[in-house]
Structure 1
Amino acid sequence: MSLLQVQNISHAFDYLLFENVNFTLAPKESMAILGVSGSGKSTLLHICSTLLQPNHGEVLLCDHNIYNDNDDARLKLRRYDVGIIFQSHYLFKGFFANENIELASFISDKKIDNGILERLGIADFMHYRVGDLSGGQQQRVSIARVLAKKPRIIFADEPTGNLDDKTAQEVMNVLFEYIEKENAALLLVTHNQQLAKQCTYMKHLHLDGLKEDA
């Protein structure tokens, strides 16, 4: 059984970004994607997570061929099965931290695991407005918001970019523990080689696809 199958994906804007990208992710597996700036790592993540249709190829997500499905089917996947952690957290800054997290829980009909708030080190900031939090605290709130949905697969674009090394490792531990406990999967874009090596797979994105070597 696989949660994510990527088959012969190619994409270009005014120039070719990458082609012939193929991989599979099963429950409890994680994959880190590395590459030089501009290689298309975030674009590939967006393609896999229903946000951007590729020029060529297919993406099967939780047994759905997402770009053959209609918009309603993709929205349902995004609501219940997909969690996306962006480089920019996209929190509602006028809301309190707990309101951002509770909204995700409400939309997906899932109960918040308060233990995750403790593990992420943000339990004491729940009644702060998001705009009053530091960048690192906001990023951890955005991660908690995703985990509150209890998604089957998490797409994370530089989720530790605003964090010091110790906090970054703690956050990754929470993500790894989550996919193990919930039979979920994690697709991670990162520049951090040390974090990438902890994933089940570590791949580098090149013009001609994903490779093991740098």
Structure 2
Amino acid sequence: MLVAKNLSFGYERQILEKVSLGLKAGETLSIMGVSGSGKSTLLHILSSFLKPQGGEVRIFGDDIYTLPTNKLLALRRNDIGIIFQSHYLFSGFSAQENLEVAALLSGEKIDAETLSLFGISEILPQNIGTLSGGQQQRLSIARILTKRPKIIFADEPTGNLDRETAFSVMQLLFDYVKLTQSSLVFVTHDPILANKALYAYRLEKTQLVPLK
């Protein structure tokens, strides 16, 4: 599903040096590290938005940084889902309208199974401003998963939530990965959440170090 080999990247200092990893369908991988260690940089490289200075990233066997532009855009549109710490919902709109915009952009139907899993169905008529932080993040994630991406990249997806809500939201995401046999790579500062992933790493001194 996802294979990265010998990734290197740096600006004024080296951030990544010969980093390698692999992920199959239905598997999860977490990345921890102090601020500035390069976690988000690595995530951006893996998700096709930042070309490494060395090494390669293969998704479904294709080196994504040698793909023609039209094929790379199709990969991003159809197979890659990116979840951010901030929910980026449209304020002033209802939950239903936010989902409809996402479905329109992706060309996919709103997935009732995903809505049910994330407990979204009952809040569809509500305005975004009336939802709790946990509800907004669950809606944000469900909106991204509408297109049923095969690989999900999440950058501190629960960083703005209290720990109990964060664990609840992440468990729903793990359940979704198992249900759909997609793959998940996520960045977190929480060691307990990190260790819930099948593969857990800390990015330290340009290298990925296993947590377990």
Distance 1:167 1:202, change over 3 A: same
Hey, what does 2:145 align to over in structure 1? Answer: 147
Hey, what does 1:185 align to over in structure 2? Answer: 183
Distance 1:213 1:194, change over 3 A: closer
Q: Given residue 199 of structure 2, which amino acid in structure 1 is its aligned partner? A: Y
Hey, what does 2:167 align to over in structure 1? Answer: 169
In the aligned structure 2, how far is the partner of 1:52 from the partner of 1:45?
9
The yes-or-no answer on 1:208 pairing with 2:206 is yes
193-202 vs 175-184, greater mean Cα deviation: 175-184
Q: Given residue 109 of structure 2, which amino acid in structure 1 is its aligned partner? A: K
For the Cα contact (< 8 Å) 1:120–1:170, is it kept in 2? no
Q: Given residue 21 of structure 1, which amino acid in structure 2 is its aligned partner? A: V
- Select the residue among 29, 39, 53 that pairs with 2:51: 53
Hey, what does 1:20 align to over in structure 2? Answer: 18
In the aligned structure 2, how far is the partner of 1:153 from the partner of 1:103?
21
For the Cα contact (< 8 Å) 1:139–1:162, is it kept in 2? no
1:159-212 Cα deviation digits (max 9, x unpaired): 111222332222222211221121210001001111111111001112232111
1:12-41 Cα deviation digits (max 9, x unpaired): 122221211100000011000001111010
Hey, what does 2:35 align to over in structure 1? Answer: 37
Hey, what does 2:82 align to over in structure 1? Answer: 84
Task: State the shift of 1:147 in Å.
Answer: 1.5
In the aligned structure 2, how far is the partner of 1:61 from the partner of 1:89?
26
Alignment of 1:81-120 (within 5 A): 81-120=79-118
Structure 1 runs of 4+ with >4 Å offset = none
1:22-75 Cα deviation digits (max 9, x unpaired): 000000110000011110101111111111111211111122211111222121
In the aligned structure 2, how far is the partner of 1:135 from the partner of 1:46?
25
Hey, what does 2:136 align to over in structure 1? Answer: 138
Distance 1:200 1:152, change over 3 A: same
Equivalences, count: 212
The yes-or-no answer on 1:75 pairing with 2:77 is no
Hey, what does 1:126 align to over in structure 2? Answer: 124
In the aligned structure 1, how far is the partner of 2:50 from the partner of 2:114?
30
Structure 1: 5+ residue runs without aligned partners? none
For the Cα contact (< 8 Å) 1:10–1:18, is it kept in 2? yes
Q: Given residue 126 of structure 2, which amino acid in structure 1 is its aligned partner? A: Y
In the aligned structure 1, how far is the partner of 2:52 from the partner of 2:125?
41
Distance 1:179 1:213, change over 3 A: closer
Distance 1:164 1:208, change over 3 A: closer
Q: Given residue 156 of structure 1, which amino acid in structure 2 is its aligned partner? A: A
In the aligned structure 2, how far is the partner of 1:50 from the partner of 1:148?
20
TM-score (norm 1): 0.89
**What percentage of aligned pairs have identical amino acids?**
48
Distance 1:15 1:94, change over 3 A: farther
77-86 vs 96-105, greater mean Cα deviation: 96-105
SS, match of residue 202 in structure 2: strand
TM-score (norm 2): 0.90
Task: State the shift of 1:144 in Å.
Answer: 0.7
